[in-house]
Amino acid sequence: MPIIDVDNLVKEFHRPKRFDGPLGGLRTLVTRQMITSRAVDGVSFSIDEGELVGYLGSNGAGKSTTIKMLSGILVPTSGHVAVNGLVPWQERERNALQIGVVFGQRTQLWWDLPLADSLKIIGKLYRVEPDRYRRNLDQFIDLLGLEPFLGTPVRQLSLGQRMRGDLAAAMLYEPRILYLDEPTVGLDVVAKERTRQFIEQINRETGTTILLTTHDLADVERLCNRIIFIDKGNVLYDGPVDRLKRRYAPYRMLDVALAGDGDSAGAIRLDLPGVEIVEQGDARLRIQFDPEVIAVTDLITAVIAEHDVSDIAIVEPDLEGVVRQIVESGNTALTMGGDRS
């Protein structure tokens, strides 16, 4: 039985029509005219316990709106959601006890208080018994390296330290489900890596189900084996990451560095089926090839036979490019591409 079950979820927003000009504010205030927009338009998916799923889409695609309905912030216009058997907006407080939420842009910690105080307050709000609190706290201090700044007021923490504090706060009461909304936004490379490590670890070790939205596709490639991709309120793709790539980005790249001076670069030609030189210059080559048509080994052999090669590397297509391709082509025929069983 899936731990998160979303069925034909729809959310419409109604906003009073805005008027400009003199007394515009007043007219806006009293008007009954509403503008309706559909942010989520019939989304369905289900997630099993222990999965780590990337929830992707461009700005305004409906990601946040979905997460807000899953966490009980918003009431949907129609459709059904069950999170571990609970309807989030009907049993908001009970649902709150079983979910952790991290908004990457906004901390839930108390700005002026030391980090340790914030964690203690969270412990109380979520009714964590003292010894369980102690045990979990020690564990997260250890995992996230919180020790050095536990006594520092949150306002003085770096963004990375604050995110670690927020992750600890969200996991302190051992929720079964964790929603992460842009957890790595604005972090430097080291802090990003640390955050990813932690997410991976708790998913693996505690079996916490994680739903992750992000703009950094490196997060997804590193962490998720399944992604749900939505656009304009619809699910475009739901399935494993590599299948998405295989389907939408069949090509691989071969990066070749040539030995000697770059003079010879001008003369390079490769007459092989399914192969194309896409970039060339300065003793470097980038070759695009279709692995279905030509085997990597054959290609490399052919290149080495004709040129002095100092280095060679195969580049996997990155998710970024794939995603861009899907959105740009606007190919809704791909909908429900994930034939998950």
Closer residue to another protein, CB minimum distance, 88 or 337: 88
Taking CA atoms, 69 is separated from 49, 80, 86, 93, 126, in Å, by: 19, 10, 12, 14, 21
Provide the CA 284 distance to its chain's centre, in angstroms: 33
The 10 Å Cβ neighbour count of residue 136 is: 18
Q: Between residue 13 and residue 42, which ones bind another protein under the rule CB under 8 A?
A: 13-16, 25, 29
Among 66, 71, 208, 213, binds another protein (CB under 8 A): 71
Smallest distance from another protein to CB 255, Å: 37
Least CB distance from residue 39 to another protein, whole Å?
Answer: 9
CB of 127 to another protein, least distance (A): 6
User: Residue 150 or residue 300: which is nearer to another protein going by CB?
Assistant: 150
Q: What's the min distance (Å) between Cβ of 112 and another protein?
A: 4
**Measured between alpha carbons, how far is 30 from 230 in angstroms, rounded to an integer?**
36
Q: Is 223 exposed, middle or buried (0-12, 13-18, 19+ CB in 10 A)?
A: buried
Q: Which of 4, 64, 164, 171 binds another protein (CB under 8 A)?
A: 64
Q: Which is nearer to another protein, 96 or 163 (CB)?
A: 96
**Residues 93, 129, 263, 328: which binds another protein (CB under 8 A)?**
93
Query: Can you tell me which of 46, 126, 185, 284 binds another protein, judged by CB under 8 A?
Result: 126
- Min CB(220)–another protein separation in Å: 20
Q: Is 145 left (phi over 0), alpha (psi -120 to 50) or beta?
A: left
Please, which of residues 130-159 interact with another protein by CB under 8 A? Answer: 153
Q: Of 110, 252, 317, 336, which one interacts with another protein (CB under 8 A)?
A: 110
The CB density around residue 96, as the number of other CB atoms within 10 Å, is 18
Restricted to residues 278-317, the positions that interact with another protein (CB under 8 A) are none
Q: Contact residues for another protein (CB under 8 A)?
A: 13-16, 25, 29, 59, 64-65, 68, 71-75, 92-94, 96-97, 99, 101, 103, 106, 108, 110-113, 117, 121, 124-127, 153
